[in-house]
Amino acid sequence: MTKELVVITGMSGSGKSIALHALEDAGYYCVDNLPPELLEPLLALETGRGERKLAIAIDVRSGQSLPQLPLLLHGLGDKGIALRLLFLDANDQTLVRRFSETRRRHPLSLPGETADAQTLTQAIARERHLLADLRDRSHVMDSSFLRSAQLVAYVKELIAAPSALLTLVFESFAFKRGVTLDADYVFDVRMLPNPHYEPVLRPLTGRDQPVIEFLDAQPDAQRMLADIEGFLRHWLPAMARDHRSYVTVAIGCTGGQHRSVYLVEKLAAMFNADWSSLRRHRELDGL
């Protein structure tokens, strides 16, 4: 039986097909829209095919069999299968826009419904309700502001992290574009001194040495860094004991360019010696 399984689920229009293609490029055997009741037969079939890595996508297209999925997944750990659950999400406004642009019909649209924003929003609400349990069990990835290439890179980076260890994902974002949906913890650092108001620093980012030196010299920035580090060091061992695979720590400032980027870089470097640490910069990675 295959030893590594990635299950991709999430909201319709959130990029599940893109994520599955990324895994296919990474060497996984991928199956889209697998009915939950065929999961165990598929895993048994893979027994005679060596140590092939497997990725499947399951979502609300499964219809009435979808509620079986959490129970089926729960028993896989006892069979020696390294399971990773990835939930693709996006905010309602983005999902409505994507469906409107592609003129696709939402899988939960009712017969006779027109594909306007109101009925799409109602279908999305129904889908969120049906997927709530799976979302709670999964690592959530917010694709609201991601280009396809960003999503592909993030998925590959995430899956490449060691499955046996807790992986920390440090993510910077701009509050002016909305709070990221995939965070386990959100820290607001907008009260810190802002390099944006220094003309020489304005075009730079929190990864550039002049900005680093500016924030290194700010007592409040160092206090914030120490407070976040202390909080995480206190609670991460408990989360690891609770068999968490991923923890996303989001740091937000006004523009997602200076302060949040600086803190993400610092924190990732601090924790990388003890935990597998990834870094993302939502506003910068898409440039």
Residues annotated as binding site for GTP? 59-62
* 118 contact partners, CB below 8 Å, separation of at least 6: none
Per the annotation, binding residues for ATP are 10-17
Distance CA 169, CA 231 (A): 15
CB 251 within 8 A of CB 172: yes
Handedness of CA 114, 118, 119, 121 (dihedral sign): positive
Question: Both ends of the chain: CA-CA distance in Å?
Answer: 42
Distance CA 38, CA 141 (A): 26
* 24 contact partners, CB below 8 Å, separation of at least 6: 30, 55
Partnered with residue 4 across adjacent β-strands are: 82
Amino acid at 173: F
Per the annotation, binding residues are 10-17, 59-62
Other CB atoms within 10 A of residue 131 CB: 21
Distance CA 48, CA 56 (A): 18
Nearest alpha carbon to residue 10 among 94, 100, 119, 102: 94
